[in-house]
Amino acid sequence: MESFSKLFDKIRVKPDKEQAARESHPRCEWAGCENAGAYRAPKGRGREGQFHHFCLEHVQLYNKSYNYFSGMGDDAVAAYQKDALTGHRPTWNVSVNKWGQTDPNAGRSKRPEEPAYNDPFGVFHGSRAGGAGRVEEPKRRVSPMTQRAFDTLHLDVGASKDDIKAQYKTMVKRHHPDANGGDRSSEERLREIIQAYNYLKTAGFV
């Protein structure tokens, strides 16, 4: 066996680590570098999950100049950072619906305030039609998230599937950016409407 063969190198007590690295890793992608590219570096925005392969020296140089937000405007960076606070997952505003600010038909179908006590027979808040003594049926109880979704669409909890679909289509057309000249408040309102509808759809109301 020749002393400079690859087979001889494999049985050495202390093999050549640099040579082993070159054989087990791709070559460094830095121009003119012949070392092993044992270190990964992200390729950048829009190519998530893709990596360059550099040696230690060049991956350090690459990381010093790397900027994920390169080419993005200030508004886009601010929006990305805001979404990053929730892991880029949809969120709900923890506040009273801002109908008066975002909806031209504010309050037309606003849900009446419910009593603070349980009144299943409508003794105190029942409605009578034409003196016939007909008592309004008690409202269906739902979770706060479900109630918020119905409120976002300006619907009562007892609305039918057809009513929900029709209201959703109407509100999407009303708040679409093309119908509001790209108004950012309308875009936020549109996002809330879509989230509310998707939530009701997942919950089986649609």
Instruction: Quick: pLDDT tens for 177-198.
Output: 777 676 667 788 888 999 999 9
Predicted local distance difference test score (pLDDT) of residue 155: 92
CA distance 206 to 190: 19
DSSP assignment letter at 31: T
Predicted local distance difference test score (pLDDT) of residue 70: 73
Comparing CA positions, the residue from 69, 57, 8 lying closest to residue 28 is: 57
Predicted local distance difference test score (pLDDT) of residue 140: 67
Predicted local distance difference test score (pLDDT) of residue 117: 61
Do 12 and 5 meet the contact criterion of CB atoms below 8 Å apart?
no
Question: Domain spans of the chain?
Answer: 12-85, 90-112+141-202
pLDDT tens, position by position, 133-148: 455 555 667 889 999 9
Predicted local distance difference test score (pLDDT) of residue 81: 78
CA distance 198 to 176: 17
Task: For the chain, list residues with pLDDT below 70.
Answer: 1-23, 88, 92-140, 180, 182-184
Predicted local distance difference test score (pLDDT) of residue 125: 58
CATH topology of domain 90-112+141-202: Helix Hairpins (1.10.287)
Dmax over CA atoms of the chain, in Å, equals 111
Predicted local distance difference test score (pLDDT) of residue 131: 44
Q: Which residues contact 195 (CB under 8 A, 6 or more apart)?
A: 90, 92, 149, 152
Predicted local distance difference test score (pLDDT) of residue 172: 87
pTM of the model: 0.35
Predicted local distance difference test score (pLDDT) of residue 20: 64
Joined together, the tokens standing for residue 198 give: 């998707």
Predicted local distance difference test score (pLDDT) of residue 44: 79
Predicted local distance difference test score (pLDDT) of residue 108: 52
